[in-house]
Amino acid sequence: MPVPTTVNFRDMFPSPSVDAFVRRWANRLARFEPRVQHVEVTIDLPHRHHERGNRFRAQVVVTLPGREIAVSHEPGDDAAHEDVRVAVRDSFRAARRQLEDARRVRAHRAA
């Protein structure tokens, strides 16, 4: 069953293909951690650089029972983030790493 996902576009036009891409990543995350209740993603274009190119930022908030995990992946000087899909992918990978860390802590406390 797909996880409830909210996709927000800020300072850019909404894209159905990017929306579908985000929802696929959210469902992957929910398969990894079945306790995921909701995923909210905000994609924005914070700075428009004429010479260096536009770099996207993707923020992911994952809601679990009694906890939220928030990831904001800043583009920095990484030219790869000129592609919105790379920015989304990097943010979801960071969220997965945080979920893995939380799982390890939870297993350690239970032992």
Give residue 95's pLDDT: 95
CB 43 within 8 A of CB 57: yes
CB 73 within 8 A of CB 39: no
- State how far the Cα of 82 lies from the Cα of 99, in Å rounded to an integer: 26
Give residue 36's pLDDT: 94
Classify domain 5-110 at the CATH superfamily level: Ribosome hibernation promotion factor-like (3.30.160.100)
Q: What is the mean pLDDT of each run of 10 residues along the chain (111 residues)?
A: 92 92 95 93 78 80 93 70 87 94 81 66
Give residue 77's pLDDT: 62
Q: Model-level pTM?
A: 0.86
